[in-house]
Amino acid sequence: MTAKASCQAWRVPMRGLQEHRARHRAGRRLLLLAAVLGSIVAGCAGPPYFKEPDTVGVGAPIELGQTVYVGPAYLDARHGDRVELVSAEAVGLDATFVTYLAARVNELGEASVGTELATPERPLGQMLHPLAGYTFTEADGTVEVVLAITADAPGVLSFEALRLRFRVNGREREQRFPFGGRICFESPKPQNCDPPA
């Protein structure tokens, strides 16, 4: 076999080897992409990070113009974790003014915020902090998410759940907390406000 023929004989297998390597590299990239997407989906669809409470039905008769504080979620960081709250949304709530806040339960005194008004004896505004960016660890104890709700027109407000976005050690998470409640704003203050059946 001449040198020219020998070179031609080697060209075909070398070309095939190059194509095989290219397919192998493409396959590895696809596997890596699938692993990344799988981890993202698993993070979104995994078990809830915080303990899920039972849906509690409450009714709050409030005089029009006053601000009512509602605490629909209680959060406990797990051992070794750092939790940062990002945002919250009361799903289905149509209120004129809603502020999302957070507070350590041990700072709130004798009890957490259920559904109540601030009083001179219990000035809740001094104990609450903006929710976005609020961070805590296991050592801080239970943290309560608090909604400050005000309406400028009479009516009944309610929402079905609180949607909370947060980070655990920098990783994005989201969780819903069911809430069954009605807030009745009237002037003068209504005598009662029955919770949902």
Domain boundaries, the chain: 1-46, 57-186
What is each CA distance from 173 to 38, 44, 46, in whole angstroms?
Answer: 15, 6, 10
Q: Give the pLDDT score at 59.
A: 78
Structure tokens at 122: 């219990």
179 pLDDT higher than 50: yes
Structure tokens at 185: 């704003």
Mean pLDDT of 153-180: 91
Name every residue whose Cβ is closer than 8 Å to that of residue 164 and which is 6 or more positions away in sequence.
73, 85, 87, 88, 145, 174, 175, 176, 177
CB 165 within 8 A of CB 174: yes
Mean pLDDT of 58-78: 86
195 pLDDT higher than 80: no
- H or E element, residue 173: strand 171-178
pLDDT of 143-156, one tens digit each?
999 998 888 888 88
pLDDT of 93-145, one tens digit each?
876 688 899 988 877 665 566 666 766 666 676 678 999 999 999 999 999 99
Mean pLDDT of 68-94: 92
Q: d(Cα 43, Cα 37) in Å, to the nearest integer?
A: 10
> When comparing pLDDT for 157 and 17, which is higher?
157
CB 52 within 8 A of CB 73: no
CATH 2.60.40 fits 57-186, yes or no: yes
Q: Give the pLDDT score at 86.
A: 98
- H or E element, residue 25: helix 3-45
Q: Give the pLDDT score at 38.
A: 46
Dihedral (CA of 33, 169, 72, 116) sign: negative
Place of tokens 């990002």: 86
Give the three-class secondary structure for 196: coil
> When comparing pLDDT for 135 and 47, which is higher?
135
HSE (CB half, 13 Å, CA atoms) of 189? 10
Place of tokens 């075909």: 12
Closest CA to 132 of 167, 179, 93, 95: 167
Dihedral (CA of 108, 122, 183, 148) sign: negative
